[in-house]
């Protein structure tokens, strides 16, 4: 499958990570160790039918509060983009 995808659409980068998964209510909490970047917390709220995006965001923000994580600490890009940015600033 990997070979077929690579030949069809190419590869934009490789991310090596170790992930621990926890379930809290309707939220999947991923704790990732990303090689070259460090530790990250990823929240994935699985919306119920009819549940709005705003409700999902409220659930995520409440969980971030429990972890004492401020919204300003959130990262809105993929790990591969963070790795590229890190490589581009190396001397």
Confidence band of 2 (pLDDT split at 50, 70, 90): confident
Contacts of 11 (CB under 8 A, 6+ apart): none
pLDDT tens digits for range 8-61: 988 888 899 999 999 999 999 999 999 999 999 999 999 999 999 999 999 999
pLDDT tens digits for range 82-91: 998 887 765 5
Which pairs count as long-range contacts for 16-22, CB under 8 Å and 24+ apart, including other chains? 17/79
pTM of the predicted model over 0.95: no
Q: What is the pLDDT of residue 89?
A: 63
Q: Stretch 64-72: mean pLDDT, rounded?
A: 93
Q: What is the pLDDT of residue 5?
A: 82
Q: Stretch 61-78: mean pLDDT, rounded?
A: 93
User: H helices of 1-91, where?
Assistant: 2-9, 53-66, 79-88
Query: Domains (ranges, CATH) in the chain?
Result: 15-88 (2.40.320.10)
User: Across the chain, where does the E strand assignment appear?
Assistant: 17-24, 27-34, 38-45
């Amino acid at each position: 499958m990997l070979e077929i995808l690579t030949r069809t659409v190419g590869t934009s980068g490789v991310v090596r990570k170790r992930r621990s998964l926890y379930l809290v209510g309707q939220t999947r909490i991923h704790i990732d160790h990303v090689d070259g970047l460090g530790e990250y917390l990823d929240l994935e709220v699985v919306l119920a039918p009819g549940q709005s995006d705003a409700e999902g965001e409220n659930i995520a923000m409440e969980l971030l509060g429990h972890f004492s994580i401020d919204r300003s600490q959130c990262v809105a890009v993929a790990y591969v983009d963070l790795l590229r940015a890190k490589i581009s600033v190396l001397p």
